[in-house]
Structure 1
Amino acid sequence: IAKDSIEKMDTTLRGSFFYEAFLYYNPLVMVAMMVWLWGVNLWAFLHYRVNYSKIFDLDQNHLTHKHIWKVAILYIGLPLVLILPFDVLYRSSRFFFLGTLLRLSLPLQPITFADFFVADVLTSMSKVLSDIERSLCRMYHRQVCRAAFEAEELCGSHSIWIPCILALPYLFRFAQCLRQYTDTKERSCLFNALKYSTAFPVVFLSALKYHVLPEYWEGVYRPLWLLSSVVNSFYSFYWDISRDWDFSLFSGISRTKNLGLRAHLVYNPRWVYYWAIGSNLLLRCAWTYKLSAHLRHNYLTVFTFSGLEMLRRFQWIFFRVENEHNRMLLRTSSSPETEMGLLATDDEEHVV
């Protein structure tokens, strides 16, 4: 019946119907996708014996990848389970996540790995957060399934809330870097803060298209937007490779036999690291698309680019946690076997 009704719609009405469906369901699909991918990350860490439970400073009652996938199924239909106060459905893990969200929004204490890790993941979900704001705005103002021009007046591309929500995760991460500098006095924290600040021009210059005359946009602001996009994409790519993953690609010297990489590699085969570098560059450039309000009218394209960003972040997680795992081993002067000695592999034990 639904298929027959859609086919009978004229082209304009059908496009509006799919846009409405996309606006309300896309955020939930993207969140569920990220949770599923996180479950795959956990499975891979267990398989390659990466002790991420210690990296994230978790206790022994945290979730395995199987439990994460169970929660992912639940999140599709019940997103409010996160705030359920009863001691069911992994309450300790849910509250740990909510506590992390609170700390990253108010960095009043020293930043942990889990704090900035979650904030980094949220930067990849900024478009999802923006879509949630738009859908809530439409529902609040009773603009659901109204004519496009009616909804645009209150909750459309002219809304100042869109760039504000897009920029919010980067503001969180920027504040965390400044807090880290206050605690450690390491200059690299300032350079990291500078990296996140380069996202702000991309977001707000794009939003200016709806608030300036077309000739000003084409002659002044669009070139500035393109320049800021290039700076942000390549700066972020450089930081991913050199700092987050600790590869020697940009160091000018080969520190190991693993050309452009690092001495200790957890995953195999080796070519996956080079694939990650190349694909990360391409997806970093594509990432600019989802931050740009003036490029978001084709919902299928936006959905595709949002999904690609989820996959880029999913890939980034493997090598970021691997790098932290190597650092932890170096600090404790332990072998991988010693670090993982307490990890269980059967389904009955909570291992990671």
Structure 2
Amino acid sequence: MDVVEPAGDRELKYFDLLLPLPYRVALSLVLGTKGGEVFAEHQLIETGLGIWAWGANLQYLSHLKIDVPSLIRHQHGISPRSSLSDYLSTYRLALVVSIPLLFSLILFWPLTHLKATLVLYYNFFPMVYLGFVVGVFCLPARGLAASGRSQFLSMLRRISIGGLALSKNMKFADILLADVLTSYSKVLSDFFAAIWALASSTLGTGDASACAGRTLVPLITAIPPLIRFRQCLTEYLRLRASGGPGSGGQHLANALKYASAFPIIFLTPPPLGQQAETLEEGSPARKLLSSSWLLAVVLNSLYSFYWDVARDWDLTLFSSLAQSVRTLRPLSRRSQTQARQGPSFPFGLRSQRWFPRAGFYYSAILLDLFLRFTWILKVSPYSEYFGTVESGMMLLVWAEIFRRWIWLFLRLETEWIRRAADRVHEALDATELEGEEVTSRGYV
């Protein structure tokens, strides 16, 4: 059968031929962007960066005796199953979706010979696999935690409109999933673009459809931060309505962090190489747009980095730096006076730590800082590669996936420490209450 070469084939790069957009979305889903599994026996909702990545989170944290399932399950109490079965079950699901992916690629590459015409002709291969992955989660089969993953879908539906559960465990699971969603905004928009491109080519809607797709992609990208923005406002309103402790300012500050992502999404300029011609023409509007985007992305990156370290991980890096500046004590001399004047834990960390080496925390901080600022590559001399070439853009997506994976280790550890502190405070309050009751009965 003769295949007519579609217009625009010459523009397909080698990376597009090797891994078309739907396959790149699939790899992100399986390896490191999104995964969800629920053990029906535990009422455990597993939400993570990816199925394999989430399994690694579970495995290492269980090695540290951090019971992740107890943080996000519906019901309290110790699970009858071992932590070993928790992450093994996750790996089993990962295999179920990974083996068909490999099989699909093994068929796709010989059939296409990495030729643009054949890649476009067989573009239904990756779409069929994406449909399979969606089916695994939406129509869970027996033996793969069917009832559990249906609860995951229920949670996904709840947070899709910015909803937030009332119970502490499920609220944390909702927030965790929504936070992870923000790291694959690009993958969501890529998934939409793949579906839109397939529908456009099938229906023959032409340039008008492509233009509409480019308009809708920023809206799709903005959905995850919008979800977290609404969740933060919900937490604030609930706190104010209940009359609980505090003014709720932290929730508003967190909402502001997610709101700061919207200017970045909607003001994103073309790559530097494409801007140059417009700027040489002296367009004030283009200069204003580029400057506004740059200011927005700098503020968002700094604010988000601060929030990761100080709020999500409860590390004392910024307060320790501020204290050092106030006392005019050089950081190199801090170790000499720490035992006498300073805290009893390494500089910038906290007293309670479950990871055995302080270097892990410092490495996580540096990685978070570096990967929060990968956008610099888009305005560097390499902007053409990272801004327009698919392989470069995919590297940035996977860098964000890796950052979120490291973030999860410390975020789950922090929540484990907070829950332990809450239990201690509840026990002390109960003891004081019992003492008051005994005293009051003694005077009757």
Q: TM-score range by the shorter chain?
A: 0.7 to 0.9
Alignment pair present for 1:90 and 2:145: yes
Q: How many residues align?
A: 316
Distance 1:22 1:53, change over 3 A: same
Contact 2:193 2:213 in 1 (8 A): no
Match of 1:71 among 83, 89, 93: 93
Look up the equivalent residue of 1:70 and give its one-letter code.
R
How big is the shift at 1:66?
1.4
Match of 1:38 in 2: 54
**Distance in structure 1 (CA, Å) of the matches to 2:305 and 2:178:** 17
SS at match of 1:112: helix
With structure 2 as the length reference, what TM-score do the two structures score? 0.65
SS at match of 1:206: coil
User: Residue by residue, what CA displacement relative to the aligned partner does 1:97-147 show, whole Å, maximum 9, x if unpaired?
Assistant: 212211211316537000010000110011110000000001111169x9x
**Distance in structure 2 (CA, Å) of the matches to 1:305 and 1:58:** 35
Which structure 2 residues correspond to residues 157-306 of structure 1 after superposition, within 5 A?
159-185=214-240, 186-206=248-268, 214=278, 215-216=283-284, 218-251=286-319, 252-253=322-323, 255-286=343-374, 296-306=387-397
RMSD over aligned CA atoms reads 3.0
Contact 2:263 2:293 in 1 (8 A): yes
**Distance in structure 2 (CA, Å) of the matches to 1:255 and 1:98:** 45
Contact 1:143 1:151 in 2 (8 A): no
**Distance in structure 2 (CA, Å) of the matches to 1:201 and 1:113:** 27
Structure 2: which 5+ runs fail to align?
Answer: 1-7, 33-50, 101-131, 241-247, 324-341, 426-444
Look up the equivalent residue of 2:359 and give its one-letter code.
W
Match of 1:134 among 193, 218, 230: 193
Q: Which protein has the larger Cα radius of gyration, Structure 1 or Structure 2? A: 2
**Distance in structure 1 (CA, Å) of the matches to 2:296 and 2:254:** 16
**Distance in structure 1 (CA, Å) of the matches to 2:298 and 2:258:** 14
**Distance in structure 1 (CA, Å) of the matches to 2:223 and 2:268:** 16
Distance 1:326 1:19, change over 3 A: same
SS at match of 1:49: coil
**Distance in structure 2 (CA, Å) of the matches to 1:56 and 1:18:** 39
How big is the shift at 1:43?
0.3
How big is the shift at 1:288?
7.7
Look up the equivalent residue of 2:366 and give its one-letter code.
G
Look up the equivalent residue of 1:71 and give its one-letter code.
L
Contact 2:165 2:174 in 1 (8 A): no
Structure 1: which 5+ runs fail to align?
Answer: 1-10, 335-352
Contact 1:163 1:207 in 2 (8 A): no
Match of 1:125 in 2: 184
Look up the equivalent residue of 1:28 and give its one-letter code.
A
Contact 2:269 2:293 in 1 (8 A): no
How big is the shift at 1:157?
9.2
Match of 1:25 in 2: 23
Match of 2:125 in 1: none
Deviates more, 1:92-101 or 1:298-307: 92-101
Look up the equivalent residue of 2:418 and give its one-letter code.
R
Distance 1:47 1:155, change over 3 A: farther
Match of 2:64 in 1: 48
How big is the shift at 1:204?
0.2
Distance 1:95 1:31, change over 3 A: same
How big is the shift at 1:296?
3.9
User: Residue by residue, what CA displacement relative to the aligned partner does 1:260-296 show, whole Å, maximum 9, x if unpaired?
Assistant: 0111110121101001001100101126879xx9964
**Distance in structure 2 (CA, Å) of the matches to 1:139 and 1:313:** 30
Look up the equivalent residue of 2:96 and give its one-letter code.
L
Match of 2:12 among 9, 12, 15: 15
How big is the shift at 1:219?
1.3
Distance 1:66 1:109, change over 3 A: closer
Residue identity over aligned pairs, in percent, reads 31
